[in-house]
């Protein structure tokens, strides 16, 4: 009986026999080592890992193999040039994908990179998976890790990482029927931002620590970078499945995004998490002085990071994720939101207001008819009376947004009670100039791909918590 109920196999290993030639055979040795580590991690005596010993060739896959693929909880692929050229492996892969259509999104596929491969050659459905690197270079020559008679420290490091990932996924699949949950979602998931190369050891240490605690780590795929909108949309989708955003920082600012040469990935990911209203936990080594960093945006990230011992930080992440969410307050029946927009963006303001009204929220947007005095007076009354404020950044110039914030600040300072929620709503067109604005509790809502209820959720959540 497999560890995961309702499955015959816990792990199906898809590989080409070409990569298992030699003495000792690499794949067989690798699967044996992995089996031991996963069983030790789960505390069980038996784990069902299917390694097909049939010789692949120009013949159909056996019925037993097809059944094993369809009845497997997870798929482990030993990726190599030989795997890519194997029709047999292609049939195995397609069979698993047809039986478990959401397996990639739910973290049920694990890629072991046996040799260096150009990412463009990897099958499209797996191209965005990060994978586990089981190869290295010695004097310019590429070789697999774990060969006999060679220092295998890195082999065991990667194997333990893989063990934690597979064990965590198997535990979640096993628990899902009882808890009514899905793999890698909700309070059991943490978003770990991409770090710089000098922090890889820290990253692996944190992943291992959180995985052993039963948490999933997202993202499990690489995000598309053909545009800012595509990246932000994919990351935003993962953030909705997580309960915290975690970022490890050093003095290195990291690589620039492909869609905007002026934006660093670390800063961009942090902004998306801020806009989503996520709990954010950042760490830096106490020896990394922000004053020595010349990049302004990265300097600000470092200044806001927690300079403490790494063990203390790891415990803090775990405590934050496991802390029960606060009880939601009952919303007042007369919560009001002012949706402010320039003339060219009034259609967006009206559409957004109608979506909020469907959720029981009273909404107003600016009047455009009447004397300048009447229009100004109406604007001031709305700012004095509203519980939440949304500024539409669609066709308007950045200077209009900045002027409204500055002018509104004077009026808002006269209020007896602060705003419960403040947001900038990004509407079409998709290309936007930098606003260069940072305000406490300001969230950015992304509606460039379409004005939807989901894009308003961070703002509504703040409004509910404040009312």
Structure confidence at residue 193 as a pLDDT band (50, 70, 90):
very high
Per-residue pLDDT, 99? 62
Distance CA 108, CA 91 (A): 18
Distance CA 53, CA 33 (A): 17
Structure confidence at residue 182 as a pLDDT band (50, 70, 90):
very low
Q: Measure the CA angle with vertex 161, ends 160 and 163; round to 5°.
A: 60
Task: Record the tokens describing residue 52, joined without a space.
Answer: 């097909």
Q: Which of 389, 406, 396, 386 is nearest to 352 (CA)?
A: 389
- pLDDT tens-place string over residues 242-283: 889 999 999 999 888 887 767 889 998 998 888 777 789 999
Task: Record the tokens describing residue 44, joined without a space.
Answer: 């069980």
- Give the chain's end-to-end CA distance (angstroms, integer): 52
Strands (E), 291-387: 306-307, 336-340, 362-364
Per-residue pLDDT, 65? 76
- pLDDT tens-place string over residues 295-328: 888 998 898 899 989 999 999 998 888 877 655 5
DSSP string for residues in 390-447: EEEESSS-HHHHHHHHHHHHHHHTT-SS--SEEEEEE-SSS---------TTEEEEE-
Q: Which CATH superfamily is domain 184-322 in?
A: Toll/interleukin-1 receptor homology (TIR) domain (3.40.50.10140)
- Element holding 113 (H helix, E strand): strand 109-113
Distance CA 422, CA 412 (A): 12
CB atoms within 10 A of CB 290: 17
CATH, domain 9-169, list 3.30.70.270, 3.30.465.10, 3.40.50.10140, 3.30.830.10: 3.40.50.10140
Distance CA 231, CA 372 (A): 42
Distance CA 267, CA 258 (A): 14
- Cα–Cα distances in angstroms (integers) from residue 178 to residues 174, 211, 244, in the given order: 8, 20, 24
| Residue 435 exposure: Cα atoms within 13 Å on the Cβ side | 21
Same fold flag, 9-169 and 336-466? yes
pLDDT at 192 over 70: yes
Distance CA 401, CA 392 (A): 8
339 vs 177, which has greater pLDDT? 339
Per-residue pLDDT, 54? 62
Peptide bond into 24 cis (omega under 30): yes
CATH of domain 336-466: 3.40.50.2300
Whether 42 and 170 have beta carbons less than 8 Å apart is answered as yes
- What are the residue ranges spanned by the domains of the chain? 9-169, 184-322, 336-466
pLDDT at 178 over 60: no
pLDDT at 362 over 60: yes
Per-residue pLDDT, 357? 86
């Amino acid at each position: 009986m497999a560890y995961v109920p309702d499955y015959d196999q816990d792990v199906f290993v898809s590989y080409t026999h070409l990569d298992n030639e030699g003495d000792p055979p690499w794949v067989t040795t690798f699967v044996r080592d992995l089996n031991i580590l996963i069983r030790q991690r789960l505390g069980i005596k038996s784990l069902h890992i299917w390694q097909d010993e049939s010789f692949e060739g120009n013949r159909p896959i056996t019925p037993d193999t097809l059944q094993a693929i369809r009845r497997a909880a997870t798929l482990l692929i030993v990726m190599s040039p030989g795997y890519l050229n194997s029709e047999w492996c292609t049939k195995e892969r397609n069979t698993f994908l047809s039986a478990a259509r959401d397996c990639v999104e739910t973290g049920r596929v694990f890629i072991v990179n046996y040799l260096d491969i150009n990412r463009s050659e990897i099958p499209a459905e797996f191209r965005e998976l990060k994978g586990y690197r089981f190869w290295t270079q010695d004097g310019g020559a590429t070789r697999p890790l774990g060969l006999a008679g060679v220092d295998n420290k890195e082999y065991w490091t990667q194997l333990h990482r893989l063990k934690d990932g597979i064990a965590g996924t198997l535990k979640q699949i096993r628990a899902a029927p009882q808890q009514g949950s899905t793999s890698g979602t909700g309070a059991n998931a943490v978003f770990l931002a991409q770090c710089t190369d000098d922090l890889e050891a820290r990253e692996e240490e944190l992943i291992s620590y959180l995985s052993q605690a039963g948490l999933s780590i997202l993202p499990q795929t690489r995000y598309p970078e053909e545009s800012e909108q595509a990246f932000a949309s994919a990351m935003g989708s993962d953030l909705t499945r997580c309960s915290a955003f975690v970022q490890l920082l050093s003095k290195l600012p990291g690589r620039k995004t492909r869609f905007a040469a002026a934006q660093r990935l670390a800063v961009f990911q942090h902004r998306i998490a801020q806009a989503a209203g996520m709990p954010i936990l950042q760490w830096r080594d106490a020896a990394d002085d922000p004053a020595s960093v010349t990049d302004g945006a990265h300097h600000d990230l470092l200044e806001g990071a927690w300079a403490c011992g790494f063990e203390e930080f790891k415990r803090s992440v775990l405590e934050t994720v496991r802390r029960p969410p606060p009880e939601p307050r009952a919303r007042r029946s007369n919560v009001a939101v002012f949706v402010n927009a320039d003339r060219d963006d009034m259609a967006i303001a009206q559409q957004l207001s109608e979506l909020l009204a469907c959720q029981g929220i009273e909404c107003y947007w600016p009047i455009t008819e009447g004397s300048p005095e009447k229009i100004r007076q109406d604007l001031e009354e709305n700012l004095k009376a509203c519980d939440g404020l949304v500024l539409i950044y669609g066709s308007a110039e950045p200077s209009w947004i900045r002027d409204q914030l500055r002018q509104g600040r004077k009026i808002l300072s006269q209020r007896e009670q602060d705003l419960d929620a403040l947001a900038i709503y990004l509407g079409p067109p998709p290309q936007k100039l930098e606003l260069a604005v940072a305000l406490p509790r300001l969230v950015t809502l992304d509606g460039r791909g379409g004005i939807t209820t989901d894009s308003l959720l961070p703002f509504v959540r703040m409004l509910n918590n404040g009312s």
